[in-house]
Amino acid sequence: MIKTIRYWIIKTVGISKGEANALLILVPILLLAMIVPSIFRGYLTNHHSNHTTDLALLDSLLAQMERNQEKEAYSKNQARVIAYKIFDPNTATQELLEVNGIPNYIVTRIISYRKKGGKFRKQKDLLKIYGMKEQLYESLVPYIKIKSPKKTTTTKHDYTSKRKKFTIIPFDINTADTSDLKQIRGIGSRLSFRLISFRDKLGGFVSTDQLYQVYGLKPDVVDSLLKYGSISLEFIPNRVNINNDTITHLSQHPYINYQLAKAIVNYKRQHGNFTELNQLKKIHLISDSIYYKVLPYLTID
């Protein structure tokens, strides 16, 4: 059969025997490539449809089973003789609720509702519990006693007399710790740590104006801080030695960046040690404003 087809192709198309063989292999492969995807898509569509239908049916059966179980539990509960006892649904134990003929699954929902912060303020609030039947609720009404919350009346005079008085003791900002700083309204743990970190990197505050340079410290909070915090006029800050310290050490100071530290060290290498601090003005990177800002933190000794 195949030889006949191959012979026919050679005679009709005018190709070689090898080309005819290749054509006989290629044509079935192309046909399969066209047919298989359609068959596969049809299978997937039917499978997905059946799967979705099965899930919907399963959900329906589960819901029906749950309703049947609740009805069965309720019926059994009604069949037995109930010795009712007065109870408060806000505080009653699981045992007390069950003694009053409340099915176990509803008791579980009542306790869960209370754990989540729910409160029964009136008897009818019990009907909010899913599964609580009107008939069951009516049988419980005579025994539900909800305690009203106690009202405490405190006069303005009593409140002010009992309120703890809080006073802030004045402190030195250069020696204050986080607990001192957090007394100020607007300064929490993060800001107090940030202020102390900046103070330590500086070598201490020499002016109250520097407090406004602390990142995140708002002007109104600085004003509040200065009501209780102060900077001693006799305070001597920690200083860096421009004759001995390295570029790395100098550049760690908040007022001296790396380029400025490098310029100071290079000037010293070219001209020898500084004999006076005002020689720094000869460095082109140091303006008058930078010079006077950094001056309290420099030494040549």
Cα four-point dihedral sign 139, 140, 143, 147: negative
pLDDT classification of 157: cutoffs 50, 70, 90: low
Q: Residue 172 has what DSSP assignment? A: E
Give the model's confidence band at 150: pLDDT under 50 very low, under 70 low, under 90 confident, else very high.
low
Q: What is the mean pLDDT of the chain?
A: 84
Contact 295, 277 (CB under 8 A): yes
Say if strands 240-241 and 298-299 run parallel, antiparallel, or are unpaired: parallel
Does position 30 have pLDDT exceeding 90, yes or no? no
End-to-end CA, the chain: 110
pLDDT at 301: 84
Q: What is the chain's alpha carbon radius of gyration, rounded to the nearest angstrom?
A: 44
Q: Which tens digit of pLDDT belongs to each residue from 197-225?
A: 999 999 999 999 999 999 999 999 999 99
Rounded distance between C-alpha atoms, residue 176 and residue 173, angstroms: 5
Domain assignments of the chain as residue spans, ordered by start: 2-77, 94-143, 171-230, 240-299
What pLDDT was estimated at residue 83? 80
Tokens of 44: 């997937």
What pLDDT digit, counting tens, does each position of 227-286 carry? 999 999 899 999 999 999 999 999 999 999 999 999 999 999 999 999 999 999 999 999
Per-residue model confidence as pLDDT tens digits over 49-60: 555 666 767 777
At the fourth CATH level, the homologous superfamily of domain 171-230 is Photosystem II 12 kDa extrinsic protein (1.10.150.320)
pLDDT at 5: 75
148 vs 167: which has the higher pLDDT: 167
Q: Tell me what pLDDT residue 70 has.
A: 66
Quote the percentage of the chain above a pLDDT of 90: 47
Q: Give how far Cα 16 sits from Cα of 8, 11, 24, 128, Å.
A: 12, 9, 12, 87
pLDDT(79) > 60: no
Do 171-230 and 240-299 agree at the fold level? yes
Which pLDDT score, from 0 to 100, does residue 154 have? 53
Question: For the ranges 68-77, 138-147, 254-263, which has the lowest average pLDDT?
Answer: 68-77
Q: Are 285 and 260 in contact (CB under 8 A)?
A: yes
Spell out the residues 6+ positions from residue 8 whose beta carbon is closer than 8 angstroms to its own: none
3-state SS, residue 19: helix
- Return the higher-pLDDT residue of 56 and 187: 187
Model pLDDT, residue 244: 93
Please give the average per-residue pLDDT across 30-35, as a whole number: 79
**Contact criterion met (CB below 8 Å) for 5 and 24:** yes
Q: Which of 146-160, 265-279, 284-298 has the lowest mean pLDDT?
A: 146-160
Q: Are 241 and 299 in contact (CB under 8 A)?
A: yes
- 87 strand-pairing partners: 144
Contact 114, 129 (CB under 8 A): no
Q: Which fold has domain 240-299?
A: DNA polymerase; domain 1 (1.10.150)
